[in-house]
Structure 1
Amino acid sequence: MSVTFGASTWLWTSPFSSDQADLLRGIARLGFDAVELPIEDPDLVDAQRILPILEETGLTPYLCGAFGPGRDLTSPDPAVRAHTRAYLSRLMDLAEALGIPFIAGPMYAQVGKARQLPSDERQREWDLAARELRTVATEAGNRGLKLAIEAINRFESDLVNTTADTLRLIRAIGHPAAKAMIDTFHMTLEEHDLGAAIRQAGDDLIHVQVSENHRGVTGTGLTPWQDFHEALQDIRYSGAIVIESFTPDNRDLAGAVCIWRRFAATQDEFASRGLAFMRDLFAKPANLVPLAASA
């Protein structure tokens, strides 16, 4: 089993832009192998400006989409769906330019759609998501890319909340480019058994985000990290494990994800403590648990 460790730039900033070369250098200095770039506005990101920094630092890049208002493949408005497909195409352009094998995120619907719907209406949205993502997956496959589809918790989506939901959606899409990712924050809210969910994902799992149940430093909360480690070992996962949380310094971002307090004196400390915990976790045999980082 071989994994690498990354950090999302959302830990420090929003939105990410290609002007933030010093941030990428700082992430590398903290000891990370990879960086996840959330692309809120593709116009702010020039791959040709980022590539030399990635080569200089040795960071492996990954891309995550941001699915706020107006980005919704389940919208009844064809123009909104077309706009969302165009955004996903822009992400694929960046992925190709940066040599990234997939684009990631909860790309089926706008984040924050959490409603009580009649069963026929929910099925309509499900079928629409599958149909639209089949089109997106076809484009991705033609480009040699994949889609890493993320389940998010019930407070952020009423469509795809569990790993089982993700796998059911992948089967409904019916295209080999459609794959799964997991985020331990959402899993601690939605899964009965985190390890079993990872094992169920199996070979479909191509990307992993980690965050504590309270969005704080990994190793300081209630997440069953031993189960997480053992399950990834069992499925022979060999990809990136990316720490994702959010800076409290951007009030709009912090408000959107309900972060009302700091978890560390600085975001660099947050990231470095989380990385130390994850490296310690994966350095030990899977049946041993490292001591959690001090709160």
Structure 2
Amino acid sequence: MRRAAAFFDLDKTLMAGSSSMQFARVATQQGIIGRRQLASWGIEHLRYRLRGTTDERTGDVLRVARELIRGVPEKTIARMEPEVMAGILPRVFPQMLVEVHAHQDAGRPAFIVSAAGNGIVESLARVLGMDGGIGTGYEVDGAGNFTGRFEGPFVYGPGKVEAMHAFAERHDIDLEASYAYSDSLSDLPMLRAVGNPVAVNPDPPLAAIAREEGWQTMRFERLGRRLVAIGVTLLAAVAGFGASRLAARRRPPTRRFPAARSNRR
């Protein structure tokens, strides 16, 4: 028997701001992203927090990000996840966790659906006690390095719907009876894919559609909180870069372990 579920967008819905900015901060410390690129994304993040984003801007950021991770070992990105998570968790909206728990108590599993990397999305879902995550997969070659190509759909816009439909088929979920939460017009396909869409701190275009359609709307992020969060994000980005330079000066030599010897003769 098919069951209902609840699907939550991540950025500006489940959390304040952008998870990708937290990833960029840690990636800068690791030398994957340069200072100039971080500053550029920081400006884009300000624009995103105050006015939302567009498909064109998202596409530009994505192209740069795919190029930057090409050739980076998968294990390097995996080892960054705890610190990225430490940046995301304080930004999770308590009001949204109440929604998550209400759905779970009613027998509806709750899932994150995000354009962020699948590793981060699934890890965050586990930490928050949710039932799973649907993120963007990136191809890894035989040497264990990222190729810069997707593995499956880019989970953004129509790609979210494609991923949700595939996920629903595998897990016997009835999308018509399900719920979806998002803040942005770019997620209109996701919201229309379910029977119960909910606009969360919506941008003006989505707010207008929600009013016309009679959708439930949740509002709890205020301008003051936005500006504080933006300031904290920028300070964290600058401090993160400074810490990376200091760490580079003080970093101890890499420990090397001898290769395991075979017992075969």
Q: Could you say which structure has the greater relative contact order, defined with CA pairs below 8 angstroms and 6 or more residues apart?
A: 2
Greater percentage in helix: 2
TM-score by length of 2: 0.31
TM-score by length of 1: 0.29
Q: Please tell me whether Structure 1 or Structure 2 has the larger radius of gyration of its CA atoms.
A: 2
